[in-house]
Amino acid sequence: MTKSGIYLGLGTNLGDRKQNLLQAESLLNLLIVQASSFYDTEPVDFLEQPWFLNRVLKIETDLSPRKLLQRCQKVEIKMGRKREIPKGPRIIDIDILFYGDLIVNEPDLIIPHPGIPERKFVLDPMNEIAQDLIHPQLQQPIHEILQSCPDNSVVIRRADLA
């Protein structure tokens, strides 16, 4: 059975950022139902690094959340992801944002992603493709979570990269 309403967040700030995202999408080898625009995003937490290019994908898959996490991590490794500085520069970062209305709380897998309410670089692209999606824990739609988001970092939709 294919599970829908699954959203992945992708980000990169090294090398050819657009190509990194497109390569990751290809390597994931998943059915992409919808993709947000690309967004230039100011770094948060660790500020001394290049800006990121982010986007959100809505996918369908019959992979379990655990198997999906393993697939995402394999793609990160294949693309050369190094985890040297927490929140630091990276060739690719792939996060499971939502998996339907499932709530998972395990040491290495938390769904929905716990950072969503504080991250404009996730909320802006999510709002573009799923503004009425209800967060299964907060019981609020994405557009309301975005309105109350405390993140003041700059997020710019890049229509020129479509």
CA angle, corner 114, sides to 132 and 66, nearest 5? 95
Three-class SS state of 34 = strand
Query: How many whole angstroms separate alpha carbon 71 and alpha carbon 57?
Result: 15
- Would you name the residues annotated as active-site residues? 81, 90, 93, 95
Can you read off the two tokens belonging to residue 136? 């299964």
Q: Determine contact, residues 10/56, Cβ cutoff 8 Å.
A: yes
Query: How many whole angstroms separate alpha carbon 155 and alpha carbon 20?
Result: 19
Query: How many whole angstroms separate alpha carbon 55 and alpha carbon 106?
Result: 25
Q: Which residues contact 124 (CB under 8 A, 6 or more apart)?
A: 39, 146, 155, 157
